[in-house]
Amino acid sequence: MAWRFALMIDPAASDDPRTDFSGTFRIIDPATPALSVGELSTQRGDGIFESIGVVDGHAQEVGPHLERLAHSAQLCDLPAPNAAQWRQAIELAAAESPAEGEGVIKLILSRGVEHGPAPTAWVTVAQAADNTTARTRGIRVVTLDRGYDSGAPARAPWLLLGAKTLSYAVNMAALREARRRGADDAIFVSSDGLVLEAPTASVVLRFGDRFVTPEPTGAILHGTTQLSLFDHLRAEGHDVGYETIPVADLVKADAAWLLSSVRLAAPITEVDGIAIPVDAGLTASINRYLLSPRD
């Protein structure tokens, strides 16, 4: 990852009425160490984050990302982020993003330093990887049991399954397992056989003219890319909806994608070794939409 910019933030209270937060920002060199060894984000993965796609200098879907950051903060008992402060930080970051092509802005809000007084927060900007192959040739996926049944989020909210926490070691392990099995990515399924999400993406399936995705009931993250795509598809006259999707339905789909803020729409070519149709024209038009400026 080619880092371009980093900004430390002194997090303001959510009701801080200031309109100018520049005094709470400190630009740092992204190539030099910046965190305390007592940082709980690095010791325990205790914190939350967002990854925002940037296209030609425009940060995409800032509002929905800030809403999800606030939702994750609430689930993790972190202080509510000040939306105006984070928006200003994102504006500074967008100005340091590639003026042409794609970048990624990360927002990180950590529990802070052990025994410290306050959370630690920072923003980074990097050049995005080239995702052309995944977007055009597609990806093979395998289904992986997440090990929880669909009642787990309600029974055990401390699993934080609906929060975008920094604890992604499990998600990364699932991607390695997918590669060991000869695939490019994974789809988590509940132990009672329902489709959930990918380790870093949402799942969208097309059956005829209806586009569906698993209901974000607390077991998965509500993807900002999926939300934006559904608004677009609805505006184009398509039928979209949230559904309970049994694993067996994956291979019955007329087309399927993994959707995320930086890779965008990656068409699925195979599920557990079974080929599924790829709608190349529709995929290209979805990615054109996702690459257009979106707020």
Which position among 6, 221, 240, 286 is part of the footprint of ligand PLP (CB under 6 A)?
A: 221
Identity of the residue, 12 or 174, whose beta carbon is nearer to ligand PLP in the bound complex: 174
We find the least distance from the C-beta atom of residue 5 to ligand PLP, in angstroms, to be: 20
We find the least distance from the C-beta atom of residue 68 to ligand PLP, in angstroms, to be: 7
How big is the chain by its Cα radius of gyration, in Å?
A: 19
We find the least distance from the C-beta atom of residue 15 to ligand PLP, in angstroms, to be: 26
All residues at 6 or more sequence positions from 29 whose CB lies less than 8 Å from its CB, including other chains = 6
Told to check if 287 binds ligand PLP by CB under 6 A, we report: no
Nearest to 189 by CA among 199, 181, 179, 177: 199
Determine contact, residues 184/140, Cβ cutoff 8 Å: yes
Told to check if 259 binds ligand PLP by CB under 6 A, we report: yes
We find the least distance from the C-beta atom of residue 91 to ligand PLP, in angstroms, to be: 20
User: Could you please report the per-residue DSSP string of 144-175?
Assistant: EE-S--TTHHHH-GGG-TTS-BS--HHHHHHH
Told to check if 225 binds ligand PLP by CB under 6 A, we report: yes
| Burial annotation 266-280 (CB, 10 A radius, 16+ → b, else e) | bbbbbbeeeebebee
Task: List the interface residues with ligand PLP, window 157-216 (CB under 6 A).
Answer: 197, 199-202
Told to check if 9 binds ligand PLP by CB under 6 A, we report: no
Determine contact, residues 134/185, Cβ cutoff 8 Å: no
Task: List the interface residues with ligand PLP, window 11-50 (CB under 6 A).
Answer: none
d(CA 71, CA 78) in angstroms, rounded, equals: 10
Identity of the residue, 7 or 69, whose beta carbon is nearer to ligand PLP in the bound complex: 69
We find the least distance from the C-beta atom of residue 280 to ligand PLP, in angstroms, to be: 22
Determine contact, residues 102/54, Cβ cutoff 8 Å: yes
We find the least distance from the C-beta atom of residue 49 to ligand PLP, in angstroms, to be: 9
Beta pairing partners, 125? 5, 105
Binding footprint of ligand PLP, residue count (CB under 6 A): 14
Identity of the residue, 111 or 222, whose beta carbon is nearer to ligand PLP in the bound complex: 222
Determine contact, residues 204/243, Cβ cutoff 8 Å: no
We find the least distance from the C-beta atom of residue 72 to ligand PLP, in angstroms, to be: 11
Told to check if 223 binds ligand PLP by CB under 6 A, we report: yes
Q: What is the bridge-based pairing of β-strands 210-214 and 239-243? A: parallel
Q: Per the structure block, which two tokens stand in for 129?
A: 């990887």
Task: List the interface residues with ligand PLP, window 43-102 (CB under 6 A).
Answer: 51
What are the residues binding ligand PLP (CB under 6 A)?
A: 51, 197, 199-202, 221, 223-226, 259-261
